[in-house]
Amino acid sequence: MTRFSCCVLSLVFLLSIVDVAEAQRRSNPLLQHAPDPTVVATTDDAGQTVYWAAATGRGVQLLKSTDLKQWRRVGRVFDQSVPEWARREVPGARNLWAPDLSYHDGLYYLYYSVSTMGSQRSVIGLAVNKAIDPESPDYEWQDRGKVIESSPETTDFNAIDPALFVDQQGRWLLFWGSYWTGLKVVEVDPATGKPKPDAEIQPVAARPDVESHAIEAPFVVYRDGYYYLFVSWDSCCDGARSTYNVRVGRSKNAAGPYQDAEGKPMLEGGGTLVLESTDRWRGPGHNGVLITDEGQWFVHHTYDIQNLRAQRILQVRPMTWTDEGWPEVGEPLATP
């Protein structure tokens, strides 16, 4: 065998390794960029549970899993990276942030954020669909456009990080917010998914005691007479230096006021720690919660110190509750 032939074979071998690695990277978003995830569960025709996640990305990423461990990308909500109307509203926006995916009354609701880093000029939009599976004949996202907006001239909040919640009285409530004066909530009309004409925007959590006011990513669940508001504190996107962490408070009313386990109001900087950085996992946060008959799951993103090039990866952890009624999360279901 000539030296040239050996070089060719070596090159072919190296390329095959690269191809395998790339295939693995594409087939499992645990190994790659999938920030701000929310997850819903469905049942297919064979009775198998199927999980669907939405995550930040061009046009909003859609992901699919049958075990909450292995995921694959199955498409995007929008063909464009940002819908045309939103691009006009927020010039410079390159992708859609922090999608919130939920199912109510026969429709999948996907709220999404449009902004640029550090800007208060932001909008929240809404798209709906009868189906979540791209292979379904009913699969067609309908964009309902703008829901909430913010700007330095008109508001004291930032209109990103939406989360829809329907309380025990049947009220549809939309939570949102990031930095500035904190997190807000407003009642929305189930017919439109947009704020009722006479609805008042109310504050639900803030950090007035820190200079950065760093709080965002609200998410609410109900359990045993209490509503639990999960939030993320501090810096989300600095790789190994990220300080993101998840806090929680609870209330008898979905719209608040919320208090932490020590009784400190969340409007005054209260928040009981749920999840923070470890030696390997940095900046865990922007969580959702998935509640199924099989268990409860804490879904979030984090940096893997062993693979920072993967950016913020999707991570799923089991969630249980203490005797005092506060959430605890376990170790990741899967590790890259």
Q: Is 294 a catalytic residue?
A: no
What ranges make up the beta strands (E) of 70-181? 72-76, 97-104, 107-114, 122-129, 142-150, 163-166, 172-176
Amino acid type, 264: K
Contacts of 123 (CB under 8 A, 6+ apart): 86, 89, 90, 113, 114, 115, 146, 147, 148, 149, 150, 159
Which of these is catalytic: 36, 100, 234, 260?
36
- SS3 call for 242: coil
Q: Which residues pair with 232 in a beta bridge?
A: 216, 246
Which of these is catalytic: 89, 100, 161, 216?
216
Distances from the Cα of 37 to the Cα of 19, 82, 329, angstroms: 27, 18, 16
Q: Is 36 a catalytic residue?
A: yes
In the 8-state DSSP scheme, what is residue 44?
-
Backbone angles phi, psi at 145, to 5 degrees: 80, -150
Backbone angles phi, psi at 218, to 5 degrees: -70, 145
Q: Which residues are catalytic?
A: 36, 216
